[in-house]
Every structure is written in C-alpha cells, then in structure tokens.
Amino acid sequence: MKNRYDSRPIGIFDSGVGGLTVLKELLDAFPHEHFIYLGDTARVPYGAKSARTVERYTIQVADFLIRRNVKGLVAACNTASALGIGALRAHCDTPVLGVIQPGCQQAMVSINDKHSHIGVIGTRSTIASGAYPNTLALLEPQLKVSSLACPLFVPLVEEGWLDHDATIMIVEQNLAPFIKNPVDVLILGCTHYPVLKPVIGKILGKKTKLIDSAEAVAESLGKLFNNVIRPAKKGEQQKVEFYVTDVADRFQEVAGRFLQGLAVDSVDMVDL
C-alpha cells in the first residue's frame, strides 16, 4: 500500500531575510512542496535580544504559521534555534526543526578525527548561548571548539557588499583568530553568512571546510517528514508564500541576493 503524503505546507521563519538561504536549499531539495516563509522584519535582529525575548518572538511567529495549518516548522534562524526552540517545542505539537543540530551533524561528517578543531561564527546571542559547542560536545566530547561573534557580517550581506574592499577587510579582521590558528571546519552559524562563503573561503583557504547549515537542514527535513513529502505532479508549479512584519519592499529587494535570482513577486505584511 502506498504511503499517503501530507499536502499541508511547511512553515519557515526567521527574524528577517537570513532564513531565505535555508528556503533556497529547501526549494531545490523539495521542488513540489508548498512553503510559507515569515520574516519578522519589524523586530530584527534577534541576535541582539535577550533569551526571554527571543523565546516570546519565536512562539509568536510560529503561531502565525501554525494558524495556516503547516505540517512542520523550520526555525531558519540560529538565534531562535539556540534560544527559543525548546520553548517552542513545549508550546506546540507541530514538528520543529532548527538549524543547529543539522549543522553540527554535518560538521561531524567533515572532520578527520575526534580531536579536530571546529570553529563557529554567529551573532552575539548565538555565540553567547553556547548552543553549538554544547551540541558538538554531546556528539564528540574530545573536539576542540572555538567560537567567534561576527555581528558586522549581517549588515554587509543585507547591503549587498559581497565583494567590496571593506567587506574583505572586515571579514579578515573578524576571522583573524582562525587565520592565526586555523580550524579544520568552520560552521557558519548565522543564515546570512552563507552569502559570504566565497569571501570567507578565500580568506581561510581550502584546508578549512565551510559548513552551511542550510544545506544540512534540507537533508534533515527529508528525514523528519520521511514519507509525507509532497510527490511530483505533472505540470504543477512550486508554491511559496512570503510574509513579513515590516517593510515588504525592502524584503523583496534583499531577497533576490539570498534566493540567487528567484523572483519574489509578492510579499504580504502582517501583524503578530
């Protein structure tokens, strides 16, 4: 007997546009799924907020998507995954997937041995939470893990300064500890950072493997939903709905850089 798929959409949320890097990977991996994306652009960035505030925001944005009858939620925000996902899972019965566990699991696949040196970069709140080192320690206690907060990377990406001289200088200065003491693997612990992969990769060199959590999330999502992923239908087009809590025009402008040219034809503004 064939398994019946769940035709409901998958909800994705982020504090702003960074989660679009996750959406892009999911669109490529599951071309016949229906996705609903919510960017909480009125309250971005989550990375500078307290844990209590992030928990509250995470539940509010998730509730918006749950009301739209999603079959699962992807917290496409490292800060929400680090500080809010526990409260969210206690709040609702809908399956929830964050970005931290998949990223750490992908890092483990990329290391040579249990004594490897893993670097993590992210927002101040994500780094302060210790979520990545704690998760990695559960997977392999003998790993060496070094973390760096790189808050200037987000505005660089959102302004489109991807190959600007100032961008190269700022990235070099922020990653100076990893240039002096190279890491075997670097986890890009913010969904904005994959847009800077060419710059980061050039500065750190080929010996450092870059881990894009967005790619890992796509693999984990397939396992989470197993046989309820929507099958292909002849002539059917992919469906994506976009919502923001402020400045829809700005979101559309920036979204093109994250979705690599995929058009965002309409964005609806909502109150949470």
Q: What is the set of active-site residues? A: 77, 190
- The beta-carbon contacts of 201-209 under 8 Å, at least 24 apart in sequence, are 203/168, 203/171, 203/172, 203/175, 203/179, 204/175, 204/178, 204/179, 207/182, 208/119, 208/178, 208/182, 208/183, 208/184, 209/110, 209/184, 209/185
Which one, of 191, 185, 180, 192, lies nearest residue 211 by Cα?
185
Say if strands 239-244 and 268-269 run parallel, antiparallel, or are unpaired.
parallel
C-alpha distances in angstroms, 190 versus 16, 48, 100, 154? 12, 13, 10, 8
For CA atoms 186, 187, 190, 196, the dihedral sign is positive
In the sheet with 144-149, reading across from the earlier edge strand, the strands are: 144-149, 117-122, 185-189, 209-212
Given a contact cutoff of 8 angstroms between Cβ atoms, the answer to whether 131 and 158 are in contact is no
CA 196 to chain centre: 14
Closest among 25, 2, 56, 10 to 219, alpha carbons compared: 25
- The answer, yes or no, to whether the previous bond of 182 is cis (omega within 30 of 0) is no
